[in-house]
Amino acid sequence: MEYRNVCLEAFAYTLPEQVVTSEQIEAWLEPLYTRLRLPEGRLELMTGIVERRFWTEGTMPGDKSLETAEKALRLARLDKRHVGALVHGSVCRDFLEPATACGVHRRLALPRECMIYDLSNACLGLMNGVVQVANMIELGQIRAGVVVGTESSRSLVEATIERLNRDPSLSRNDVKLAMASLTIGSGSAAVVLVDRRLSRTGNRLLGGVAQANTQFSHLCQGTHDDSGADEMRPLMSTDSETLMHEGIRTARYTFTRFLDRIGWDADQIDKTFSHQVGRAHRKLLFDSLGLDTALDYSTLEFLGNTGSVALPITAALGVENDHVAPGDRLTLLGIGSGINVLMLAVDWQHSLKSHEVVCAGPQAIETATSDETSDV
């Protein structure tokens, strides 16, 4: 992938108000921990995740995606008449049909000529949407587009806790397969892309590389609770250790091709935003790529793994907190189950921000008293 006419104009995010700590989750798992004699604190120790967030029960993904997309467009000061594509890229959506993008499109009052659809690809959905919108802009089909999504973790985490507590046959190994489900958090993110002639930032998307390694697609699979309950709730089984190693192996191969395609050396990369999984994954990934973790912006400690919105929501917070500066060579490192890897290069010039924040993390966001929103 190579682009000459596409700019990453604006990132926006929305965070839920309810904070759920790893300590709380372990308290809810007390029957399991007692039966298997599991040590307290292992969830945070293994993952580095102190807390994650839940939307208010009954929140629809499309409602939050609308909120986040509105802020991204407002920040970009983009005339809605220029928006030629709206992609809703999260795993979570309002209905099987119509597309969640339809409701967001209607309430945003975007043009009827705007192409709208949902896109699902595990943790890479929004990033895939960025590529598709960029392709349309580069081809001259549209002048601007919005990629948005909202992930909700409440049902998955609650269903996982219920299953772990009610089934006395589960072993420590079974618990390991469910551990990744307990790291999932909620959030919403949006990205605005524009033709460079419309851009106020000059943040040029230069191109990138994608790789699929689908022989490992069985390592992380989402299903539904088969307990016979009236409500079908999600469950996920993840071989986290094997997935981590095979995902990083795929990322290392992709990174070599990425550097060749873009024409950079690894030591020319100034900053990164990456998919947020856990502390061990992040360290091993950057060690494998020969990059310093200081180049990266981390949100996993206070947001957990927010799925497809993890990378763009981290980028939004990082931009807001001056992680990138004019002239930075920025790399977006996307990795998702499947296994899928997508890496994009950006020539960063200017950050659009609605206000200044001293820091991002629990201290910066714990003052919120209602669903907190921000744009960057």
Residues classed as catalytic:
97, 123
Helix (H), strand (E) at residue 156: helix 154-166
How far is Cα 153 from Cα 161, in angstroms, rounded to an integer?
Answer: 12
Query: Are 190 and 59 spatial neighbours (Cβ–Cβ below 8 Å)?
Result: no
Q: Which residue has the tokens 């892309």?
A: 193
- The CA distance from 268 to 265, in Å, is 5
Please tell me the number of Cα atoms within 13 Å of 31 on its side-chain side: 10
Residue written as tokens 């920025």? 330
* In contact, 109 and 232? CB cutoff 8 Å: no
Q: Tokens at residue 319, please?
A: 């931009």
Q: CA-CA distance, 325 to 319, in Å (whole number)? A: 9
Q: How far apart are CA 85 and CA 173, in angstroms?
A: 45
Q: Which residues pair with 118 in a beta bridge?
A: 88
285, 276 in Cβ contact below 8 A?
no
Write the CA distances from 86 to 61, 257, 282, 334, integer angstroms: 15, 30, 31, 21
Type of residue at 119:
L
- Residue 321 corresponds to which tokens in the numbers above? 């907190």
Contact of 52 with 102, CB cutoff 8 Å: no
DSSP 200: S
Element (H, E) at 237: strand 234-238
